[in-house]
Every structure is written in structure tokens, then in C-alpha cells.
């Protein structure tokens, strides 16, 4: 901690950026589209978020929330949707190759983070290191990130927070629009496209999208091209619905197919080079053994009914996730999980009356997971859970109070399995009950200054991987053993936030302290099974402290100098030095960006329809910007060192530059152009949260593991099509 406070002044961080982040400046999709407004600091307090108890102004939210708008998503280099949002303060990602990322919020991930898409929980065997989020980034219009326990609204698994992905809002009556997006990335040859058409005719609304991308192996300075890092992806979405004054009813169907390779990280003992199949080519987009095949199908019925006192929302969802691993035969999967999930969410929300708002609801989920392959890692299982909750908020002039309580029940049953006369999995059942809640307040001291405080209790039941694993996890490069005696996790977290929005400086601070009882984690056993290191699940009490911090200085409207800093200290209590830190805690991160908006002809308080340009008679550039930034990851030596569970990671810095513009013809936007260069200096590095860090050692260089992607330049074009 002493080192940390010595570093902060050197970085020039005297004020701090909010947990909300620098992008929380736009009206949410429920309002007018002002997402092209770049003067982020002017309307920070007017952002509408939906991740708490209905539409709420950000300045009245008692919990820390980050918002990533559609413009930010389009201008960011990424290979998946999580990749596009991890630069938010307090967020990071666990990666396995270039196509798979898992969200980490304030040092916690896996089943401690709930991902919401199309209004339902995204369920796709998310307990695995190499199991990504099966959502097409083209279908996501904006993202809200709730930081801290959100069990009150989302039940078990929302201990660290919630990532809420919003689709595009429905168009106004009589509108018909579309867009075409295409991109290319130089490092892995990624080719991507997305086609969209949506409309609203007499209250009948529809939205159709088809997307695809493919990439060959990525490369870096030390490993050259990395076999198994190629992937293909294909997805589609169709929404049909009715939108009237009484509310709306929408039916949404989506498919997502991804074929990522599996990076084994094995090396030739003589040359130290990464091993690969004889038919493997570094420029090939064709799958090679081993690889995964992931198919995710989703059907959601989303309804909202307006009443005189409020509105009722009812969402029913069905998902099927098929996850296959092919090791020797590309036609017969060695590992095959098929997961069926049904969810429901019924809630009633009141309008504001005398400063009061109430919400009450019931949620539940049913799951069935099947083992259909030749190899086994976790038991087949059934899951059922149910939760009811109620919240209330009160507006007292400049003070907003918010609180609620929730009760949950979860039943989990693992099926027995006998393999070659040996019991692989035993039949067992577990029941979990919980009462959680939260209480918070936000004081709007002035139009520029807000102070918020929130205390929340979180709950998470152990998942089937933690309870019943017994097999080789090929993608994670280890043999995993579960523990059927694990207890549920309970957390108690306090958040304190201060944000200031001025004419020349926007600055905010978010502090948190989190105590988790029965924290579950993997630890190395120091032995091997089937030539893989053995890891087993255990638990202990944990304490996490940290903050997100930074400042945005804008001496003139067109110039932004932004700094952010994220830090978390995660410890296991009452342990010796070797085991006192929780494994896989993100390294402290400082980001700094200088952004210059060269041309902008929209008044910052006007909507997009008030736009005017100096060259309305011909071709012109609007919202033209250039930016240069640095991502600095400090050394992470707070590790769980028992039996080499993890190793320290040295510090590294990545230089990035970007530019973008809207092209207009006679005042009408005809295209958006973006170019981004990540890791411009081609730095060879390993993220502390990369599972590939623990692959084979290079016998020639003595470097262990596979390194992350090197220099990558992205070109992206978005062409809007306004038909009506």
C-alpha cells in the first residue's frame, strides 16, 4: 500500500474518476439518441440507467454503475463483447486466446458475475476458464456494469456485480433503418461483418441482424503465431413485437455459433517452438484439432404493461447451450455438455408518487445439464431456484434513499456416473437458502457534486464444477477435483462514492470494502493426474479492499486529458504468507488518454436533429477525433503461492492510438470510420489473468507460457441506411 500511495502523485491522479466511468454521459436508449455527443462531462448527471429498479438518473443511483454507450462500443477494438468493455475502471477480463473473455469485476469473476442479455441471465456453463459469453457484440447497443453485490435484484451469483447488455431500442412510428458494419484486424486477420434492419410500422416493430467473424492464429514477439488461437463465429437475431400506448410485447430469438481453437501451449523440446498439427497453417481460418464448438440458442418473450400506478414487466426465457471439445476426431466430441435453462422474471414497478417508488417481483430458474461425450469433467445435474424481493426508494429534496430485501432458495442435484466399473461421480443433492438486502443513500450536494453510500449483502451457491468436478479440464490445462461439502458464499460490502462534474474538470472516487465468508477457489495440490497438475476446490474467509480513481481535465471542450486507476487488494484471512492472497486478482491498472476532437458541429445540448455543418453542400467530416493512450499494469506479486497455484506477473505498459470520424454528405451521415492501433510498440506481455501463462516452458528462452497478442491495427466502417 505504501508503494501505491507513492505512485499516485507521480501519475498525476489528484482527483479520481467515478465507478461510473468516463462514458456515462449519454441518455440511455430509452430516450433520444444523443450517443454521438462527445462532450461527455456536460451531461454526466442526466444519464438514465435501468440496472437498479427501473429507469433512474445516474446521479440518484446509490450503487456504482458504469455505462458504455453505442459510440464507444463501435469505436473500440475487440474480438468479443467483453473485450469491448474491460477498460472501464474496476473491470478486467480472464482470457484464453483471442476469442474468449470472461468479465472480472473488482477482482471477482466466474459465477460471481451475472451477465444479462435480452433481459435474462446468460447461462452457458460459465464456470469454465475457456467458456466465454455467447453474445454477438453487434446486437449490443449499450452496456451497464453494476459493481458490488446485486443479489437483491438478480439472486445468487451476482456477488461481484452484473453486466447488463442492452439491445437497440425500438424505432419511432414510421421509421425503417438499417446499417452495415465491417472490420479487419491485422494481427490475427480478423474479418467481421454485421447486417441490421429494423422498423416500426403502425406499432408493429421488428429488428433483424446477422453477423459473422473469423480469425486465424494471433501472433506476438516471443511466440510468433500461436496454434489453436484461430476461431470462427456466426450469429443471428430476430425480434418481432407490438409496441402501443398500453406497453409492448416482444418475441426475441437468437442463435450463436462459435468454433474456437484450443491453445494447448505444448512446445518442441529442442527448438522451444509451439507444437502444432502437421496440416496447421498460421494464416488458415480452418479449424484444426483440438477445438471447441459452441452453440447457443435463446428464445425470450419480453412484455411490459402500463398501468395507472406503474407498470408490470414479465420476461420468460429459454436457452440451450451446447459445448463440445474435439481432441482426436473432428466428428465425435470427447467432451459434450448440453445445458437447458428456463428463466422467468415477474415484477411490478410503481411510478413516482410523493417521492416514493416501489418494486416487487419474483424470479426463478430451472436447469438441466447433460454429459453426452466420451469424457467427463462435471456430473450431469438438475438445478431449480426461486427468489422474491421488494425494494423502495424515497426522494427527499437533494437526498435519495434506497433499500430492499430478498429471499432465495436453490436446489442442486448431481447424477451418479460409473465408468469402467469405477464410480466417477456420486449421486448427491444440496439445498441453499439465503436472505439478502441492501441499503443506500445518495446526496446531490449540488448540480456538480454527488456523494453516495451503499451497504449490500450478497449470496452465491457453489456451482456444479466446484462441488463435483473430477476430470481433466483441457482448456484450463489442469485436472480438477470438486468438494461436495462446500458452503455457500456470503458477502457484506460497503461502497462510498464521490463525483464532481465541473466546467473544466470531471472527477470521481469510488471506494469499496468487501468481506466474503466461505470464499471458494482453486488451489494446486502439487501432484499430477494424466500428466496434468491437480487443482482442488477449497474455501476460506476473504477480505477485498479497493477503489477506482481518475480525472478528466478538459480545459477546452475539444480536449480531454483522462486518467483512471483501479486497485483491489484481496486477502484470505488468518493464513500464512504463502496463502494469504486470493488467487487470480487483477493487477493494479493505470490508464491515461489524450483525446482531441478536431471537428464537432453539434451543440452539446442539442440532439442529433439539430446538427449543422460548415460544408452542408458536399462531403465533410464530423465528430473527427484522434487519441493516444497508455495502459499501465503494475507488478502483481500478491499471489496464492502454495504449490505454484499462480506466479507473480511483472509490470508492463501498452501504447494505443486511435482516430475516427463521421462522414457526412450534404449534412447527412453516410458512414462512420474508425482506425485503432493497440499495443503499438508490439510489447510482449502476459496478463496476470491469462490461463495461457501456465503452459509449457520454452526450453530455449526459459520463458514459461504463451504470451498475449502483439501489435494489432483495426479498421472499421459502419454505414447507416435510413430508408424511411
pLDDT tens digits, residue range 519-529?
Answer: 998 888 888 88
For the chain, the helix, strand and coil percentages under 3-state DSSP, each to the nearest 5: 10, 55, 40
**248-297 confidence digits (pLDDT tens):** 999 999 999 999 988 888 898 889 899 887 778 888 998 888 899 999 99
Condensed to tens digits (0 to 9), the pLDDT of residues 75-102 reads 888 888 888 898 889 999 888 776 788 8
Task: Check whether 10 has a pLDDT greater than 80.
Answer: no
Whether 17 has a pLDDT exceeding 70, the answer reads: no
pLDDT band at 54; cut points 50, 70, 90: low
pLDDT in tens, 546-565: 999 989 998 888 899 999 99
Quick one: pLDDT band at residue 52, thresholds 50, 70, 90? Answer: low
Of the candidates 422, 450, 453, 457, the one whose C-alpha atom is nearest the C-alpha of residue 149 is 457
CB-based contacts of 41, cutoff 8 Å, min separation 6: 25, 501, 502, 506, 552, 554
Distance CA 689, CA 521 (A): 14
Query: CA 694, CA 579: separation in Å to the nearest integer?
Result: 19
Sort strands 652-665 and 668-678 into parallel, antiparallel or unpaired.
Answer: antiparallel
Provide the pLDDT for residue 637.
Answer: 93
Distance CA 157, CA 165 (A): 17
Residue 607 has pLDDT above 50, yes or no: no
Indicate the pTM of the whole model: 0.89
**Beta strands at 310-326 and 291-306: parallel, antiparallel or unpaired:** antiparallel
| Range with top average pLDDT, 22-36, 396-410, 633-647 | 396-410
H or E element in which residue 615 lies: none
> Which of 125-134, 189-198, 526-535 is predicted most confidently?
189-198
Structure confidence by residue, pLDDT tens digits, 462-492: 999 999 999 887 666 788 899 999 999 999 9
pLDDT at 35: 38
Cα 631 to Cα 452: distance, rounded to the nearest angstrom: 28
Check pLDDT > 50 for residue 659: yes
Q: What is the mean pLDDT of residues 390-403?
A: 92
User: Cell digits for 164?
Assistant: 447488463
Mean pLDDT across the chain, nearest whole number? 87
pLDDT for the residue 43: 56
pLDDT > 80? residue 71: yes
Domain 2-722 has CATH 2.40.170.20: yes
The Cβ-side half-sphere exposure at 120, using a 13 Å CA radius, reads 30
* DSSP state for residue 4 in the 8-state scheme: H
Residue 619 burial class via C-beta count within 10 angstroms: exposed 0-12, middle 13-18, buried 19 and up = exposed
Mean pLDDT of 196-207: 95
Q: pLDDT at position 27, please?
A: 40
Residue spans per domain, the chain = 2-722
pLDDT of residue 220 exceeding 90, the answer is yes
pLDDT of residue 366: 97
> Predicted confidence band at 46 (pLDDT cuts at 50, 70, 90)?
low
The answer to whether 167 touches 140, Cβ cutoff 8 Å, is yes
* CB neighbour class for 354 (10 Å; exposed up to 12, middle 13-18, buried from 19): exposed
User: Is the model's pLDDT at 19 over the cut of 60?
Assistant: no
Per the listing, cell 442479455 goes with 117
Mean pLDDT of 361-379: 93
Rounded Cα distance between 665 and 617, Å, is 7
Q: How confident is the model at residue 600 (pLDDT cuts 50, 70, 90)?
A: low
Of 188, 258, 192, nearest in space to 230 by CA = 188
- List the alpha helices (DSSP H) in 106-195: 151-154
Per-residue pLDDT tens digits for 126-167: 887 778 899 999 999 999 999 988 888 888 888 899 999 999
Amino acid at each position: 500500500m505504501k508503494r501505491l500511495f507513492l505512485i499516485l502523485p507521480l501519475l498525476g491522479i489528484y482527483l479520481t474518476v467515478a465507478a461510473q466511468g468516463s462514458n456515462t454521459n449519454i441518455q440511455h436508449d430509452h430516450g433520444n439518441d444523443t450517443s454521438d455527443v462527445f462532450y461527455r462531462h456536460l451531461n454526466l448527471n442526466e444519464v438514465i440507467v435501468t440496472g437498479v429498479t427501473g429507469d433512474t438518473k445516474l446521479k440518484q443511483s446509490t450503487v456504482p454503475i458504469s455505462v458504455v454507450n453505442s459510440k464507444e462500443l463501435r469505436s473500440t477494438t475487440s474480438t468479443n463483447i467483453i473485450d469491448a468493455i474491460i477498460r472501464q475502471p474496476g473491470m478486467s477480463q480472464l482470457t484464453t486466446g483471442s476469442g474468449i473473455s470472461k468479465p472480472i469485476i473488482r477482482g471477482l469473476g466466474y459465477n460471481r458475475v451475472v451477465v444479462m442479455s435480452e433481459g435474462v441471465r446468460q447461462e452457458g456453463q460459465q464456470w469454465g476458464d475457456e467458456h466465454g459469453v455467447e453474445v454477438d457484440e453487434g446486437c449490443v447497443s449499450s452496456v451497464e456494469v453494476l459493481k458490488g453485490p446485486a443479489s437483491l435484484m438478480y439472486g445468487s451469483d451476482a456477488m461481484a456485480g452484473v453486466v447488463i447488455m442492452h439491445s437497440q431500442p425500438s424505432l419511432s412510428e414510421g421509421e425503417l433503418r438499417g446499417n452495415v458494419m465491417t472490420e479487419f484486424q491485422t494481427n490475427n486477420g480478423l474479418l467481421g461483418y454485421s447486417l441490421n434492419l429494423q422498423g416500426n410500422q403502425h406499432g408493429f416493430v421488428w429488428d433483424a441482424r446477422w453477423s459473422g467473424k473469423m480469425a486465424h492464429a494471433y501472433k506476438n514477439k516471443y511466440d510468433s503465431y500461436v496454434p489453436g488461437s484461430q476461431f470462427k463465429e456466426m450469429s443471428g437475431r430476430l425480434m418481432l413485437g407490438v409496441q402501443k400506448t398500453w406497453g409492448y410485447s416482444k418475441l426475441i430469438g437468437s442463435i450463436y455459433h462459435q468454433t474456437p481453437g484450443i491453445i494447448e501451449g505444448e512446445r518442441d523440446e529442442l527448438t522451444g517452438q509451439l507444437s502444432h498439427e502437421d496440416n496447421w497453417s498460421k494464416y488458415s481460418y480452418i479449424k484444426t484439432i483440438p477445438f471447441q464448438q459452441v452453440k447457443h440458442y435463446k428464445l425470450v418473450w419480453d412484455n411490459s404493461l402500463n398501468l395507472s400506478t406503474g407498470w408490470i414487466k414479465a420476461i420468460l426465457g429459454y436457452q440451450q447451450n451446447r459445448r463440445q471439445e474435439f481432441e482426436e476426431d473432428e466428428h465425435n466430441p470427447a467432451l459434450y455438455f448440453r445445458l437447458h435453462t428456463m428463466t422467468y422474471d415477474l415484477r411490478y414497478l410503481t411510478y413516482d408518487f410523493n417521492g416514493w417508488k416501489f418494486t416487487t417481483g419474483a424470479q426463478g430458474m430451472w436447469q438441466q445439464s447433460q454429459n453426452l461425450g466420451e469424457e467427463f469433467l462435471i456430473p450431469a445435474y438438475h438445478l431449480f431456484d426461486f427468489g422474491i424481493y421488494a425494494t423502495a426508494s424515497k426522494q427527499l429534496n437533494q437526498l435519495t434513499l434506497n433499500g430492499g430485501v430478498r429471499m432465495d432458495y436453490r436446489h442442486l442435484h448431481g447424477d451418479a456416473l460409473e465408468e469402467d466399473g469405477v464410480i466417477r461421480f456420486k449421486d448427491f443433492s444440496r439445498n441453499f437458502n439465503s436472505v439478502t438486502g441492501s441499503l443506500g443513500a445518495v446526496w446531490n450536494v449540488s448540480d456538480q457534486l454527488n456523494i453516495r453510500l451503499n451497504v449490500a449483502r450478497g449470496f452465491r451457491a457453489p456451482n456444479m464444477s466446484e462441488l463435483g468436478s473430477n476430470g481433466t479440464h483441457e482448456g484450463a490445462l489442469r485436472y480438477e477435483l470438486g468438494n461436495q461439502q462446500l458452503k455457500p458464499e456470503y458477502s457484506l460490502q460497503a461502497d462510498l462514492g464521490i463525483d464532481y462534474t465541473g466546467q473544466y474538470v470531471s472527477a470521481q472516487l469510488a471506494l469499496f470494502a468487501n468481506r466474503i465468508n466461505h470464499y471458494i477457489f482453486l488451489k494446486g495440490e502439487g501432484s499430477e493426474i494424466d500428466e496434468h497438475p491437480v487443482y482442488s476446490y477449497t474455501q476460506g474467509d476473504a477480505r477485498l479492499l479497493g477503489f477506482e480513481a481518475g480525472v478528466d481535465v478538459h480545459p477546452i471542450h475539444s480536449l480531454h486529458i483522462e486518467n483512471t486507476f483501479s486497485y483491489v487488494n484481496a486477502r484470505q484471512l488468518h493464513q500464512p504468507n504463502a496463502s494469504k492472497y486470493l488467487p487470480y486478482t487483477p493487477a493494479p491498472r493505470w490508464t491515461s488518454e489524450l483525446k482531441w476532437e478536431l471537428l464537432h458541429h453539434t451543440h452539446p445540448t442539442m440532439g442529433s436533429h439539430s446538427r449543422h455543418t460548415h460544408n452542408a453542400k458536399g462531403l465533410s467530416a464530423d465528430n473527427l477525433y484522434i487519441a493516444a493512450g497508455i495502459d499501465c499494469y503494475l507488478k502483481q506479486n500478491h499471489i496464492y503461492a502454495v504449490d505454484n497455484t499462480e506466479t507473480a506477473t511483472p509490470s508492463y505498459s501498452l501504447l494505443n492510438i486511435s482516430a475516427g470520424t463521421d462522414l457526412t454528405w450534404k449534412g447527412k451521415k453516410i458512414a462512420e470510420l474508425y482506425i485503432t492501433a493497440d499495443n503499438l510498440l508490439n510489447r510482449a506481455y502476459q496478463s496476470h489473468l491469462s490461463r495461457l501463462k501456465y503452459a509449457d516452458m520454452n526450453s530455449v528462452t526459459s520463458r514459461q507460457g504463451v504470451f498475449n497478442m502483439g501489435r494489432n491495427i483495426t479498421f472499421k466502417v459502419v454505414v447507416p441506411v435510413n430508408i424511411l
